[in-house]
Amino acid sequence: MTRRSLPLLRSADASLPPLHARWLDAVLADPSLPEESNATCDDCAMLADPSLPPGALVFSPDTRCCTYLPTLANFLVGGALRSASPHGAASVRRRLSEGDGLSPIGLVADPALVASTHTDQERFGRDASLRCPHYEPVGGRCGVWAWREATCATWFCKHTRGERAKALWNRLHQLLSRLERAVAWHCALSLDIPPEALARMAPLDLPHGAPRADVSASDDALWGRWSGDVEGYFLACAQLAEALSPAEVLSLGGAEARALAATVRLAQRQLLDDALPARVALGRVQVVGLSATSVRVQGYSHLDPLDVPRELFDQLHRFDGRPLEEALREASASAGQEVPSGAVGMLVDFDILRGA
């Protein structure tokens, strides 16, 4: 087992939607992100495979990971209406016509539903009744891919650098979610949504400025001068958002966005730092599978187990907080072959070993 390298690429190339990728120009001097090559959307890494051990967690081919209803900010709605795939645009129009969670802020998913389904391991990735309306059954792709929201843009089932990479994506999710909300409110204000409507979308009893999802979308007073032209409103939102510079977007997010940007930079530095702890000990270790040559161990995530060669697994108890060099020498002597520090690095990434 060798240390996985850290492939980097410009975030705009493959990692994030175009708008979100551009926003990072105001956040990161080098907006490069890990290419999560093990989380393959085109050839889903979570589908059943003959090489998997019995009982391995797999997703349904009818849903993949898309058992999640995304909140689409107003400018994302407009962008999808304008340039998504035919299926994607039609799926957005369907949500608009149904009216659930529809307001000038966008299409807001029920927070209780999102929380319950996203954390339910038995249903997530398996329950077809929860399938995203923007999912394209033929090919299993996202119909609003270029206009997907922060959760869908930063969530991966597997990470090349385990928990370290996941930490960066989680920080990006926090920042991008904040910026999405800020830009959505900016669009609503700029396009003359009436103060009475703004008050209904931001009642005093909801934290963090969360937009209200139960306003009556058919109420003309909610849309002001855009009453009768809801699609036109969302298209105008997309145009406004695209005209904003990265610095303007970050400014709209205020002090909170600047603070979150600092945490993103920290997480990126930590990801790029390959230095090993001076001492390591066992972290989260749960055996979830066995073969003749390896032990499948769950560390930081139940979706991303690691196959550890048996000869290395048998030496893990030697990493007990003593100096790393000493533990490596003893483990190598006992195994009859060198235990490379790179393998230890991967185990640290996956939180099977951790700094002591």
Rounded distance between C-alpha atoms, residue 59 and residue 47, angstroms: 5
Q: Output 231-236 pairs: Cβ under 8 A, ≥24 positions apart.
A: 231/81, 231/93, 231/96, 233/74, 233/78, 233/104, 233/191, 234/74, 234/75, 234/77, 234/78, 234/81, 234/106, 235/78, 235/81, 235/82, 236/78, 236/187, 236/191
Q: DSSP assignment, residue 211?
A: P
Q: Check residue 263 and report its DSSP letter.
A: H
What mean pLDDT is reported for the chain? 87
Q: Provide the 10 A C-beta neighbour count for residue 86.
A: 9
Residue 28 burial (CB count, 10 A): 15
Burial of 185 (0-12, 13-18, 19+ CB in 10 A): buried
Q: pLDDT, tens digit, for every residue of 27-56?
A: 998 878 888 888 888 888 888 888 787 778
- End-to-end C-alpha distance for the chain, whole angstroms: 23
Angle 258-188-256 from CA coordinates, rounded to 5°: 15
Residue range 245-295, pLDDT digits in tens: 999 999 999 999 999 999 999 999 999 888 899 999 999 889 988 888 989
Q: Are 281 and 349 in contact (CB under 8 A)?
A: no
pLDDT in tens, 294-323: 899 999 999 999 999 999 999 999 999 999
Query: ∠231-107-46 over CA atoms, to 5°?
Result: 120
Banded pLDDT at 8 (limits 50, 70, 90): very low
Structure tokens at 221: 């007073």
CA angle 337, 342, 347 (to 5 degrees): 100
pLDDT at residue 213 above 70?
no
Supply angle C-alpha 170, 174, 177, rounded to 5: 125
pLDDT in tens, 178-191: 999 999 999 999 99
Instruction: Report helix angle 341-349 to 162-190, nearest 10.
Output: 40
Taking the CB of residue 104, how many other CB atoms lie within 10 A of it?
Answer: 29
- Domains (ranges, CATH) in the chain? 9-272 (no CATH), 279-355 (3.90.930)
Q: What secondary structure letter does DSSP report for 62?
A: T
Say what the pTM is: 0.90
Q: How far is 348 from 213, CA to CA, in rounded Å?
A: 42
Q: What is the pLDDT of residue 98?
A: 92
pLDDT, tens only, 325-340: 999 999 999 988 898 8
Per-residue confidence band for 93, with pLDDT thresholds at 50, 70 and 90: very high
